[in-house]
Structure 1
Amino acid sequence: MDAYDVMVIGGGPAGYVAAIRAAQLGFRVACVDAFERGGKASLGGTCLNVGCIPSKAMLDSSERFEMIQHDAAEHGIQVDGARVDLGKMLGRKEGVVDKLTGGIAYLFKKNKVTSFHGLGRLVRQDEGGWVVAVSENGGAGTEVVARHVIVATGSSPRELPLAPFGGHVVENSGALAFEQVPGKLGIIGAGVIGVELGSVWRRLGAQVTILEALPGFLMAADEAVSKEALKQFQKQGLEFHFGVNISAVEQDDSGVTVTYTEKEQEITARFDKLIVSIGRVPNTAGLGAEAVGLELDERGFVKVDGHYRTNLPGVYAVGDVIGGAMLAHKAEEEGVALAEMLAGQAGHVNYDVIPWVIYTSPEIAWAGLTEKQAKEKGHSVKAGQFPFSANGRALGHGDPRGFVKVVADADTDKILGVHMVGPNVSELIGETVAIMEFGGSAEDLARTVHAHPTLSEVVKEAALAADKRALHM
């Protein structure tokens, strides 16, 4: 029986990063992952294979097409007869995914991480550590033993009981592989995945309707940001319905019929395709949790303490499977922190300043508390807001939509949260996270020299605006 210091079950962002970092720290490491794409083993989990990476590739391709159609003329560029070659666009997406997933395989080899393709299952604890059954390629498999086992099995899309996945009803992976642009596309769920996928297919020509059970849009975001984003998306042609109750979903050979109630009125809508995006559930089936006594919570997530320890000695868990923010970067940081803890170092993740990003156009990003949350926590709050419409780089780029908002404590000046909607804010949020990580103030941000002309000047001006001294407004 092969013996390892660390055995990682799951090769997504939490798992593969934990494996690499543990190997860097001198552990003998193995990782088992069952993900397949195109009938072949493919490391990287949902994020790299059918989530974060392919969706961003499609968002970029579709945004370029829309720019050519609607914005190029403003720049003095005349383009006639632009059309979409969907097959080539999807092929480019797959090429990006292949490069990155292949890169993980290379990193495993470079760091001497043993990789198994198949399912990993906790079997028993013996004097050498935990025995893990590894079923490779559907065969009988083998058993390995490890002193430490890291469960990083991730999550899967949650099904709507009325609309199980199959046929014309798809989840995120199916929604990234349509063979033709749907004429009418329905989406249940107005969260991150819903609006991103809706944006892709709307740009490519679909008529998109988004149905959301909650009474408002992006209620986790700052109210000013969610209001501005909704206005921009509606202007683009995305149709939203909030506070809906789905009562029936029926599909036939040609499409899907959805019956829902909105404002006490029953409505029936017909779609060519229906994307269901209502959250995710932890992947614990086949892990052997019940057999070995691994404790799960009432929603099926693996229960851990502040050091990612489960109730079983020597067994740990990180990433989506433990709940919290289901974000690849959160999962990666947990993987690094745990590997460092196993090596006796002080691994740490600051959950208060994890950035959230939605890669639509305009982009949306935030970190820390909203203005409402800050007040509810008892802070005396001051806030500064500055628009991209007053920024030279945004105007030159031709995209002056949105703003940056800085929320700070009025007594200490400490930044409590930063909220953005506008061009490239997925990149701008990193600066503010760094400032917040070190307990920085609005004054720190305002006094930092920002290059001119750049979009980042809007961040500086918003920090200045918190003290009512913005220079360019």
Structure 2
Amino acid sequence: MDELSCKLLVIGAGPGGYACAIRAGQLGIDTIVVEAQKPGGTCLNIGCIPSKALIHAADAYETVACAAEGKSALGISAAKPSLDFARTIAWKDDIVRRLNGGVAGLLKRAGVRSVAGRASFHDGKTVEVRMANGIQLIHAEAIVIATGALPIELPSLPFGGRVISSTEALALAEVPKRLVVVGGGYIGLELGTAFAKFGAAVTVVEAAPRILPQYDGEISEPVARRLRALGVTVLTSAKAKALAAGGAGLEVETGDGGQATLEADNILVTVGRKPATSGFGLELLDLDMDGPFIRIDDRCRTSMRGVFAIGDVTGEPMLAHRAMAQGEMVAEIIAGHRRAWDRVSIPAICFTDPEIVTVGLSPSEASRTGFSIKTDLFPFKANGRALTLDREDGFIRTVARADNHVLLGIQGVGAGIAELSAAFSLALEMGARLEDIAATIHAHPTQSEGFHEAALRSLGHAIHI
């Protein structure tokens, strides 16, 4: 058995793991990263990146299809489009391949040693890696667990055959004629919307009274309207029970207590994700847990000295950019820097149609802090840029303390609004007040003016509404 030693060992080369390893390498720390799959983790290979590629392709296809059907308000006509889905998937795969190579190159440039294989703990300082050509033992002064998360499987609908997770959905050979999506959260609706634009007959089954239950109704309603316009059937307060006899459909308990059978070529189960904490000897460390997650402090330290954990294995929000920020911080702590997790906000984006951005507290969450709050929104139907994009559905909303006008939260829903997430986050991190936003010149004509106008409206002197 070959043996290696290093100062820092990172288990998992997803966004958190590779960011941690690269930053550690930049700081001169002798670092090894272990990854069983390709670098980039779920986000790059079978999640964020490929799904956004598919969403973009679906948007482009729908635009041409609407023009061919005479539905374009812009006066554009086109021939009926055809879809070479294999080429679409190949284009998506090429993006992933290029980014894989980019991550591998960045790790190498930072002086990080990469080991391809599956890691398993011997103890808090030693890890065994099963590689294709043998076993490697690695001794480390510090270890970072960055193993990510996995799709949750329903006992009555195990993955296999027609029942697929988001991973298989992103690798389908053809667009299913009938797709049932179990779970009306962000993953299910992102993919369900894309396939609906490609021409699939999509039905969403959601156990909660409405889709996107993690958001308030004001935020989710524009998405619900768009789904109806796309012809997507949404069943709320409904429960997926089991495969229908013969496996050609899904048995569902409807909201009124009735039973229904939904025919489906594929059943996409997107009911959440769980931390990847099994299969690599974690039980040998006897770490303190917080439910299914590894418990950490404000420096991402676990209950065992020298063992850190970052990303999805540590709990919500399970977001790639949170993991990356944690990874960079841990690398600097190991290098001797004084760092602690003091982030005010972590933006969350739902790439539905229209997109959703939330930063900080919602109105209901802010009300529970005990402060009196001021909240107002500016609708995109009064925004010139949104009208020129023919996408006026949605708004930007601010939530602030009533006494000193410090912003507590910002939410928005609209076409392409994901790109405003940085501005929203920066405002909260800098402790901005409504007056700061109102006094900042926002370029015209842009959708960002909605942020300006929402602040003005909350101060009592909106200009354009």
What residue number does 2:81 align with? 82
What residue number does 1:66 align with? 62
Residue of structure 2 aligned with 1:154, choices 148, 159, 169: 148
Deviations 1:41-95 (A, max 9, x none): x111110000000000000000011111225843333211211110111111001
Q: Matched residue of 1:357: which SS?
A: strand
The one-letter code matched in structure 1 to 2:457 is A
What residue number does 1:131 align with? 126
Q: Distance in 1 between matches of 2:139 and 2:438?
A: 54
Contact 1:333-1:349 within 8 A present in 2 as well: no
Residue of structure 2 aligned with 1:453, choices 422, 445, 458: 445
More deviation, 281-290/216-225? 216-225
The one-letter code matched in structure 1 to 2:24 is A
Residue of structure 1 aligned with 2:280, choices 258, 266, 287: 287
Q: Distance in 2 between matches of 1:80 and 1:443?
A: 51
Change (3 A) 1:193 1:342: same
Q: Matched residue of 2:254: which SS?
A: strand
Q: Distance in 2 between matches of 1:348 and 1:365?
A: 26
What residue number does 1:181 align with? 175
The one-letter code matched in structure 2 to 1:61 is A
Residue of structure 2 aligned with 1:210, choices 204, 214, 218: 204
The one-letter code matched in structure 2 to 1:172 is S
Change (3 A) 1:119 1:83: same
Contact 1:356-1:365 within 8 A present in 2 as well: yes
Q: Matched residue of 2:388: which SS?
A: helix
1:233 maps onto 2:232 in alignment: no
Q: Matched residue of 2:459: which SS?
A: coil
Shift of 1:110: 0.6
Residue of structure 2 aligned with 1:194, choices 188, 191, 197: 188
1:263 maps onto 2:256 in alignment: yes
Shift of 1:465: 1.1
1:275 maps onto 2:268 in alignment: yes
1:95 maps onto 2:94 in alignment: yes
Q: Matched residue of 2:60: which SS?
A: helix
Change (3 A) 1:294 1:375: closer
Residue of structure 2 aligned with 1:398, choices 390, 393, 407: 390
Q: Distance in 2 between matches of 1:123 and 1:432?
A: 44
Q: Distance in 1 between matches of 2:39 and 2:246?
A: 35
Q: Distance in 1 between matches of 2:153 and 2:442?
A: 46
Q: Distance in 2 between matches of 1:275 and 1:397?
A: 32
Q: Distance in 2 between matches of 1:289 and 1:392?
A: 55
Change (3 A) 1:252 1:107: farther
What residue number does 2:42 align with? 46
Give the structure-2-normalised TM-score. Answer: 0.95
Give the structure-1-normalised TM-score. Answer: 0.94
Q: Distance in 2 between matches of 1:404 and 1:198?
A: 25
Deviations 1:432-462 (A, max 9, x none): 1101001111111111111111111111111
Contact 1:289-1:295 within 8 A present in 2 as well: no
The one-letter code matched in structure 2 to 1:46 is T
Q: Matched residue of 1:74: which SS?
A: coil
The one-letter code matched in structure 2 to 1:78 is S
Change (3 A) 1:292 1:373: closer
Deviations 1:294-329 (A, max 9, x none): 343432x22222221112211110000111111111
Deviations 1:13-48 (A, max 9, x none): 11111101111111011000011xxxxxx1111100
More deviation, 314-323/286-295? 286-295
1:408 maps onto 2:408 in alignment: no
Q: Matched residue of 1:466: which SS?
A: helix
Q: Structure 2: state its 5+ residue gaps.
A: none
What residue number does 1:39 align with? none
Q: RMSD between aligned alpha carbons?
A: 1.6
1:302 maps onto 2:294 in alignment: yes
Q: Distance in 1 between matches of 2:295 and 2:372?
A: 35
What residue number does 1:140 align with? 134
Q: Distance in 1 between matches of 2:140 and 2:119?
A: 12
Q: Distance in 2 between matches of 1:113 and 1:252?
A: 51
Contact 1:121-1:287 within 8 A present in 2 as well: yes
Shift of 1:414: 0.6
The one-letter code matched in structure 2 to 1:116 is V
Change (3 A) 1:177 1:240: same
1:342 maps onto 2:334 in alignment: yes
Shift of 1:352: 4.3
1:361 maps onto 2:353 in alignment: yes
1:24 maps onto 2:26 in alignment: yes
Percent identity over the alignment is 37
Q: Distance in 2 between matches of 1:201 and 1:219?
A: 22
Shift of 1:365: 0.8
Shift of 1:346: 3.4
The one-letter code matched in structure 1 to 2:449 is E
Q: Distance in 2 between matches of 1:447 and 1:102?
A: 44
Deviations 1:95-134 (A, max 9, x none): 1111111100000111111001111122135xxxx11111
Q: Distance in 2 between matches of 1:298 and 1:378?
A: 28
Q: Distance in 1 between matches of 2:162 and 2:262?
A: 14
The one-letter code matched in structure 1 to 2:56 is D
